[in-house]
Chains A and B, each alone.
Chain A
């Protein structure tokens, strides 16, 4: 299967602003990469450059070491699934599925056999004579998927293929896509802005923001070891809390102060910070995930006093939104021990899971 490399690729639609900037990224052969990022961050532009539908302003895209920049879309032999299906409206489902095969001059009986096979896999066998407008959204998306997998492609490009579907169907189809990947082992470039979907379906996640690649890794890495504040805030089911922080250097043992709380730091962590030349630069911010916080009734030197504003039930957990002079904090606690709005609480942080960002948003505790 092909190995895809983006080498310092940029895309500018207008001279002044870049939709994609200096993107370098490798998709190993046969692996499944998810690109995750907020709307407008350049995901589709990246995929369209790879597909040959958009010109590359700067840099090089290589497939198995071969430069692809100038290769026409129809010669790249990729299969693509479009966010908005892009089915041929004048052809029925059979005709839609047959198009990629007909382009390769496959004999009729062979086409018929493949179409039937794919229709069975995707459970659309009884829809073959319908036109796209007569199908439901889920059926249309299956046809779109079918059209991509019907030829033995070695590379899939999918641009939010499940974006318009309801939650139940999304889960079903994403399992289907992952199963197909296990079966075919094709190199896959998959765009989504649903991180749960990304985690479920892919081998590796690439996070983009404002045209730049931020970080790649699996979900756990992105959660626990983000490169910067953007990734920390973007990844995670429950939003991370960001509070101003500083290093208290006058104490006997190193301490991190977050608001009124003085949190002792292990020697090792303290030395990590000391290594960073950026701490001195000024502003520091601490990032704490809701599940790294526990709430207590008694105050203590290392606890942050807060007042509960909102309690949001999430299944058997509750997210407690609490405010204090230092800012707003979210904590996930079991529902049965959840405080009520108006209560005062003392938040204790799991020191090993606190993230620290410098003035530029960089994670200064990042393990590499």
Chain B
């Protein structure tokens, strides 16, 4: 009896501690987001009031202004650029990457292991090391300030790691499943689409999230090779402070647009990050 209640007490103490720790971590992570959103909703006088006010009358003025900054250049244009470039480069990286990864996992040839490692190694250098050559290359083919330039660059940056990660996922699929489908009368390509791809869904989701986050947040190259037409949200945000002091409300409103889409995308894909899709396939 005594030991039982002791165990129960220990257990609840542990639960309380765990819950407390979780609250601290979540609060710590969400607090900046809270500040960002509330600042965007505050009027200018509320923003600068000291001590900061916890209660205030929300206004959408900053959001309205954010749509019309830079002499009428709409934040939506930059948002559109970001979405287009992120979506295209993510689809390309995951699409091409899954095919390459499948080939590496299922059709080994002399040196295929070395090839896989070589592909990964293309990510070893810090991007800043090859920014200048990339810039020169894009300039010589007339791709400066185009969506295509960023799409190509982000695709190639993400491709290597997508291939590396998905190769492991494909290799983990019991080979009998694919053999069964071949014997059932499916072509290799159909086996890839109907058996292999659905079974690496968690891998697709994970690599899509990481690819998208990289493309969405990338600033260094975007800032150098885009000026207006293809500039993305991070470039836009950085332009803020330079052009007109800092309009905090508007800055935070744009920040909200910089964070919200990728968060929603990640939350949406997160439910695919499940383990054990192949349980029950063999044995």
The answer to whether A100 touches B177, judged by C-beta atoms less than 8 angstroms apart, is no
Please pick, from A72, A74, A164, the residue contacting B283 in the complex, using a CB distance under 8 A: A164
Q: Which residue of A lies closest to B173 (CB)?
A: A89
Known: A53-B183, A86-B179. A133 touches B279 (CB 8 A): yes
The answer to whether B281 touches A89, judged by C-beta atoms less than 8 angstroms apart, is yes
Please pick, from B186, B199, B283, the residue contacting A85 in the complex, using a CB distance under 8 A: B283
- B181 located at the interface, meaning its Cβ lies under 8 Å from any Cβ of chain A in the complex: yes
Chain B residues whose C-beta falls within 8 Å of the C-beta of A293 in the assembled complex: none
The smallest beta-carbon distance between A16 and chain B, in angstroms, is 18
The answer to whether B176 touches A82, judged by C-beta atoms less than 8 angstroms apart, is yes
Q: Is the interface of A mostly helix, strand, loop or mixed?
A: loop
* Measured CA separation A140–B282 after assembly (Å): 9
- A51 located at the interface, meaning its Cβ lies under 8 Å from any Cβ of chain B in the complex: yes
* Measured CA separation A103–B189 after assembly (Å): 13
Q: Which residue of B lies closest to A73 (CB)?
A: B182
* Measured CA separation A142–B91 after assembly (Å): 40
Chain B residues whose C-beta falls within 8 Å of the C-beta of A164 in the assembled complex: 283
The smallest beta-carbon distance between A97 and chain B, in angstroms, is 11
- A80 located at the interface, meaning its Cβ lies under 8 Å from any Cβ of chain B in the complex: yes
- B184 located at the interface, meaning its Cβ lies under 8 Å from any Cβ of chain A in the complex: yes
* Measured CA separation A85–B281 after assembly (Å): 7
Chain A residues whose C-beta falls within 8 Å of the C-beta of B278 in the assembled complex: 89
Which has the most chain A C-beta neighbours within 10 Å: B184, B278, B279, B283?
B184
The answer to whether B177 touches A86, judged by C-beta atoms less than 8 angstroms apart, is yes
Interface residues of B in 19-34 (CB under 8 A from A): none
The answer to whether B176 touches A86, judged by C-beta atoms less than 8 angstroms apart, is yes
Interface residues of A in 118-148 (CB under 8 A from B): 131-135, 137, 140, 147
* Measured CA separation A87–B280 after assembly (Å): 8
* Measured CA separation A76–B185 after assembly (Å): 8
- B241 located at the interface, meaning its Cβ lies under 8 Å from any Cβ of chain A in the complex: no
Chain A residues whose C-beta falls within 8 Å of the C-beta of B174 in the assembled complex: 84, 86
- B198 located at the interface, meaning its Cβ lies under 8 Å from any Cβ of chain A in the complex: yes
Q: Which residue of A lies closest to B278 (CB)?
A: A89
Interface residues of A in 18-74 (CB under 8 A from B): 51-53, 72-74
* Measured CA separation A53–B175 after assembly (Å): 11
Q: Which residue of A lies closest to B185 (CB)?
A: A103
* Measured CA separation A140–B199 after assembly (Å): 19
- B180 located at the interface, meaning its Cβ lies under 8 Å from any Cβ of chain A in the complex: yes
Please pick, from B176, B186, B198, B277, the residue contacting A103 in the complex, using a CB distance under 8 A: B186
Chain B residues whose C-beta falls within 8 Å of the C-beta of A133 in the assembled complex: 279-281
The smallest beta-carbon distance between A158 and chain B, in angstroms, is 12
Q: How does the 8 Å CB contact mask read for B163-207 relative to A, with 1 for contact and 0 for none?
A: 000000000001011011111111100100001001100000000
The smallest beta-carbon distance between A363 and chain B, in angstroms, is 38
Interface residues of B in 249-278 (CB under 8 A from A): 277-278
Chain B residues whose C-beta falls within 8 Å of the C-beta of A74 in the assembled complex: 182-187
- A78 located at the interface, meaning its Cβ lies under 8 Å from any Cβ of chain B in the complex: yes
Chain B residues whose C-beta falls within 8 Å of the C-beta of A51 in the assembled complex: 179, 183
- A88 located at the interface, meaning its Cβ lies under 8 Å from any Cβ of chain B in the complex: yes
The smallest beta-carbon distance between B171 and chain A, in angstroms, is 16
Please pick, from B184, B198, B281, the residue contacting A132 in the complex, using a CB distance under 8 A: B281
The answer to whether B176 touches A88, judged by C-beta atoms less than 8 angstroms apart, is no
The answer to whether A53 touches B179, judged by C-beta atoms less than 8 angstroms apart, is yes
Chain B residues whose C-beta falls within 8 Å of the C-beta of A80 in the assembled complex: 179-180, 183
The smallest beta-carbon distance between B167 and chain A, in angstroms, is 20
The answer to whether A104 touches B185, judged by C-beta atoms less than 8 angstroms apart, is yes
Please pick, from A72, A89, A99, the residue contacting B280 in the complex, using a CB distance under 8 A: A89
* Measured CA separation A85–B277 after assembly (Å): 16
The answer to whether B280 touches A86, judged by C-beta atoms less than 8 angstroms apart, is no
* Measured CA separation A133–B281 after assembly (Å): 7
Q: Which residue of A lies closest to B279 (CB)?
A: A133
The answer to whether A90 touches B277, judged by C-beta atoms less than 8 angstroms apart, is yes
* Measured CA separation A164–B283 after assembly (Å): 8
The smallest beta-carbon distance between B199 and chain A, in angstroms, is 6
The answer to whether A135 touches B280, judged by C-beta atoms less than 8 angstroms apart, is yes
The smallest beta-carbon distance between B228 and chain A, in angstroms, is 46
Chain B residues whose C-beta falls within 8 Å of the C-beta of A78 in the assembled complex: 183
The answer to whether B281 touches A73, judged by C-beta atoms less than 8 angstroms apart, is no
* Measured CA separation A73–B183 after assembly (Å): 6
* Measured CA separation A148–B129 after assembly (Å): 57
- A79 located at the interface, meaning its Cβ lies under 8 Å from any Cβ of chain B in the complex: yes
The smallest beta-carbon distance between A63 and chain B, in angstroms, is 14
The answer to whether A84 touches B283, judged by C-beta atoms less than 8 angstroms apart, is yes
Q: How does the 8 Å CB contact mask read for A147-179 relative to B, with 1 for contact and 0 for none?
A: 100000000010000001000000000000000
Chain B residues whose C-beta falls within 8 Å of the C-beta of A135 in the assembled complex: 280
The answer to whether B199 touches A89, judged by C-beta atoms less than 8 angstroms apart, is yes
Please pick, from A72, A89, A103, the residue contacting B184 in the complex, using a CB distance under 8 A: A103
Chain B residues whose C-beta falls within 8 Å of the C-beta of A77 in the assembled complex: 185
The answer to whether B283 touches A89, judged by C-beta atoms less than 8 angstroms apart, is no
The smallest beta-carbon distance between A105 and chain B, in angstroms, is 10
The answer to whether A132 touches B280, judged by C-beta atoms less than 8 angstroms apart, is yes
Chain A residues whose C-beta falls within 8 Å of the C-beta of B179 in the assembled complex: 51, 53, 73, 80, 82, 86
The answer to whether A88 touches B183, judged by C-beta atoms less than 8 angstroms apart, is no
The answer to whether B182 touches A86, judged by C-beta atoms less than 8 angstroms apart, is no
* Measured CA separation A179–B182 after assembly (Å): 27
Q: Which residue of A lies closest to B187 (CB)?
A: A74
Which has the most chain A C-beta neighbours within 10 Å: B185, B195, B283?
B185
Interface residues in chain B, defined as those with a beta carbon under 8 Å from any beta carbon in chain A: 174, 176-177, 179-187, 190, 195, 198-199, 277-283
| Other contacts beyond A73-B183, A74-B183, A89-B278: 10, CB < 8 A | A80-B179, A82-B180, A86-B282, A88-B281, A89-B199, A89-B279, A90-B198, A99-B186, A103-B185, A164-B283
Closest 5 CB pairs of A and B: A133-B280, A103-B185, A86-B176, A132-B280, A84-B282
Between A and B, 18 residue pairs with Cβ closer than 8 Å are: A73-B179, A73-B182, A74-B183, A79-B183, A82-B179, A84-B282, A84-B283, A85-B282, A85-B283, A86-B282, A87-B177, A89-B277, A89-B280, A103-B185, A131-B280, A132-B281, A133-B281, A134-B280
